[in-house]
Structure 1
Amino acid sequence: MSTLTKPNHIGRKISRIRELRDMKQEALAQALGISQQTISAIENSESVEEERLIEVAKALGVTVEAIKNFSEEAAINYFNTFNESPNNYFGLNHCTFNPLDKLMETVEENKKLYERLLQSEKDKIEYLEKLLQQK
């Protein structure tokens, strides 16, 4: 019987969650302070002791219940909900502001700051000239 057809194959669930989080076995192993081979063995195990499962869940940033209740179908349904939003284009939410307007605001702010700096430098030069004339 393959691991894909066993609904409670904890190791396979750990593997799929790790893959969905874009994490390599080496990274998970390093987070747990164990070897990559040990991670491979865990992912091939149908059951994992509770203490180890708690450590793995913490390293993956999920709860133990999330691992135990994980299913491919639920994960697919979860990610498909993002595509059902009417303001969603290519998986990204539509901006509520015009990015070019924001850019122009930044340009104007920089221009004002530059003008203040320039005025400050003029004031400094004027002050230094007065000091030189007094000597």
Structure 2
Amino acid sequence: MKRLIFTLSTLMICSASMMAIPAKPGQWKMLKLANGTEIRAELVGDELCHYWLAADGKGYAWSAAQGCYVAIDKEAANKAADQKRNAANKRRMAKVTKAKANDLYTGEKKGLIILVEFPKRTATNTPEVKFSRESSGVL
């Protein structure tokens, strides 16, 4: 049962991490380009790859070196994001397999059971007594 719960929780965590959170739709902004023109663009992508998409289909990203927005290759940016995503998944799975290797248990499991007998009480709660109490409405 432990293995089943562990496996299901691992699968849910991995599937959730494989899907990056998308950018909030409908965020429009006026971008100032290097040549001084301004265009209206919408934010697209996820936390690994996000850029501004103009109405003509070109992608733009902020360039700190130039201090303005520059055109980017969307396919190359998406490939780089896929590589980041795959590297993060590999690191995550390495941690899981390392934890699983350290979780091996060998030997005999023992548990401590303490039985207590109170002097003025007797253990007479048999199934017949319990069911007769339930049927009469007394619990």
Give the TM-score range, shorter chain: under 0.3
TM-score normalised to the size of structure 2? 0.27
TM-score normalised to the size of structure 1? 0.27
Hey, which of these two has a bigger chunk of helix by percent?
1
Relative contact order higher in (CA < 8 Å, ≥ 6 apart): 1
Bigger-Rg structure (1/2): 2
Hey, which of these two has a bigger chunk of strand by percent?
2
